[in-house]
Structure 1
Amino acid sequence: MTSPSQLDFVTVDVFTSQPYGGNPLAIVRIPPGRTLNQEQKQTIAREFNLSETTFLHEHADSAAEDQWTVDIFMTSRELPFAGHPTVGTACYVLGRTARERGVSSGVMEASFNLKAGRVGLRYDCGKKTAKASIPHDVHIHNKRYTKDDLFALQPQLAEAHRQGKVKVKDDHAIVSIVKGMTFVLVELESEEALSMVSLAGQSLSVEGLDQGWDETFIGTYFFVRAGTSDHGVTKLRTRMIEGPLEDPATGSAASDLAAYLSQTAGEASKTFKYEIVQGVEMGRRSEIFIEVEMNEDKSVAQLFLEGSTVQVMEGRLTV
């Protein structure tokens, strides 16, 4: 039995089926009737020291719906939404629910309540993958990120560009997937150029973002187009750098990039599909799948993020 001062937790690797691949995530289970304040959640997230920790508020056994409230914390702040914590927590709780009900095939539908809003979920009990309907309010900023700004943080790319080994575009789009979650999208010409990306000595700071969208997390998402499959799936290789840290799988950045590419493709009322491979340079290969459904006015109607998860640890923590 768990004592009143303890909580159960698991850690999982997200966007992979191989233990110790993908992006690690800690999931803290909060029983019905139990509460934690913001300071306690932030302290626990710092203790795990992963890119994100989620707090899964379990519902009572008598609950009529498969619906959970989930809070997402970095080591330094709470996030309204993040992709790999959403998919990872969905795979964990819905996989557990499927086992408890003896269900091994078919699709289970459920939802999460996040700070960014309600997220619809579909769990494939056979494939053991979760597909999340991602909250989005896509905003392409008027400001562009210049090549000089990029080179100030990426000296290896700057030197390779100076020597004519790679070509880097003059400027790059800055896109928010929702308010509070923003990425500079840097397209590179080859995987060789992608390999030259390095950690930055400081976190990215961009002045002059559009009003109302300027209080935000901001990371740099580097990408290379890797062709198209026979089924029309666009393949991308990516890396996400946030100052001195690299993330092996970033669902929010992948969603941000997929939304931007779909909006700028110039085709309305179409569904775009993407297969994104990230984390290779870290030795933690991650596979992220995204579908973007477009409206007639070329805005994003729906965005779905999909992946698998494998559990690697479990235990109890003291509050």
Structure 2
Amino acid sequence: MTSSKLRLKYTVFDVFTNTPWAQGNPLAVIQLTKETAKQISQEQKHLIAREFNFSETTFLHDYSDGDTEGHATKRTVDIFTKTKQIPFAGHPTIGTAAYCFNHVFHHDSEGGILIAKAGEIHIRRDRGTGLIGADIPCSNYRVHSQGLGRVERASIVQQHPELQGISESLAHDFPVISIAGGLYFIPVEIELLETMASLRPARPPPDATKVLDEGFSGALGGTMFYHELSSTDDAHRFRVRRMTSIGEEDLATGSAACAFSVWQSQVRSRERPEAGLEKKTIRYEIEQGVEMGRRSEIIVDVTLNDDLRPKKVILSGHAAEVMKGELII
């Protein structure tokens, strides 16, 4: 007698866009009941994530015993890349939040909580615009090795020879930044959009492991190239491309956008102390995936404390539901 197979419902979203099929970063949200959450193994979660082959896949747990079905506004979420489980990622947070507001929370709900390994993430939806927002855990933000550890320009150019001709216009070295454990990013400014368009993924990426702080061993990372499109005191717009540590390019990276936006606020506050920027909430509008043919629009609002540590980081974006189905494992 053969054992019955596990059947799991899933929904796919294009995240950081309200234009389905043509834009955004795909995310699969796998719905777990109390029973299937006990039956599914970590290895099966890895297999499912690899089968979808998206940058991340999430597994959303059922309501807890203390909640009333249909009115529960707190859910646990597991986030998987194709290779490992991670504590936090931005586009899975926005996409999973969209699923919760569409199918889980009461139709009048405007807010809720996702419980990830990085901690509780408060989520909200603007019922007028459909914009999903998430308060991102930022207590673990850092510029690694107290800002002293840097990745040299030569290392970046070696991995991206298309930069050889403009290498002198690059900074001498670059910081390594993180918004949460398990993830790091190397921000590299590019002066011309034409240069941005010429970039290609590189494997392996520049080695940043020597400057990562304690507790970040095994972290996933990569290089985040950016070009500033426009700027005011209260808002900045960037085009970015993020090359991952497995030799791929990411369509849209909310965690990188959050780390980058905090770092930008810190840099600008130090450069212009008289402007009192640390007392303001600064908005960063980030477009990504343009060169890949799938534009994403990411919004990050950053407020700093007086010591320039992040006080509040809000990640926002739209998510378009594009597919539903059932997995049989």
Q: TM-score, normalised by structure 1?
A: 0.91
- Asked if 1:305 is matched to 2:307, the reply is no
Bigger drift between 279-288 and 59-68 goes to: 59-68
How many angstroms does 1:148 deviate by?
0.4
- Among candidates 147, 156, 165, match of residue 150 of structure 1: 156
- Among candidates 149, 152, 177, match of residue 175 of structure 1: 177
The amino acid of 1:179's aligned partner reads G
**Partner of 2:166 in structure 1?**
161
1:274 to 1:208, Cα distance in 2 relative to 1, 3 A = same
**Partner of 2:196 in structure 1?**
194
- Among candidates 132, 138, 141, match of residue 141 of structure 2: 138
- Asked if 1:10 is matched to 2:11, the reply is yes
How many angstroms does 1:213 deviate by?
4.3
**Partner of 1:252 in structure 2?**
255
More strand by share: 1
Report SS of the residue matched to 1:46: helix
Report SS of the residue matched to 1:282: coil
**Runs (4+) of structure 1 moved beyond 4 Å?**
none
Identity rate, percent: 36
How many angstroms does 1:97 deviate by?
4.2
- Among candidates 27, 40, 50, match of residue 44 of structure 2: 40
**Partner of 2:220 in structure 1?**
217
1:309 to 1:134, Cα distance in 2 relative to 1, 3 A = same
**Partner of 1:262 in structure 2?**
265
Equivalent residues in 2 for 1:73-112, closer than 5 Å: 73-97=80-104, 101=107, 103=108, 108-112=110-114
**Partner of 2:274 in structure 1?**
none
Is the CA contact (8 Å cut-off) linking 1:12 and 1:313 kept in structure 2? yes
The amino acid of 1:300's aligned partner reads P
- Among candidates 203, 228, 232, match of residue 231 of structure 2: 228
Is the CA contact (8 Å cut-off) linking 2:243 and 2:250 kept in structure 1? yes
Structure 1 residue ranges without an equivalent (≥5)? none
Is the CA contact (8 Å cut-off) linking 2:234 and 2:281 kept in structure 1? no
More helix by share: 2
User: Whole-Å Cα distance in 2 between the matches of residues 45 and 207 of structure 1?
Assistant: 26
1:102-156: per-residue Cα shift (whole Å, max 9, x none)? x4xxx70100000000000111122112100001221112211111000111011
Report SS of the residue matched to 1:280: coil
How many angstroms does 1:45 deviate by?
0.6
User: Whole-Å Cα distance in 2 between the matches of residues 309 and 186 of structure 1?
Assistant: 28
User: Whole-Å Cα distance in 2 between the matches of residues 128 and 140 of structure 1?
Assistant: 33
User: Whole-Å Cα distance in 2 between the matches of residues 207 and 181 of structure 1?
Assistant: 11
Q: TM-score, normalised by structure 2?
A: 0.88
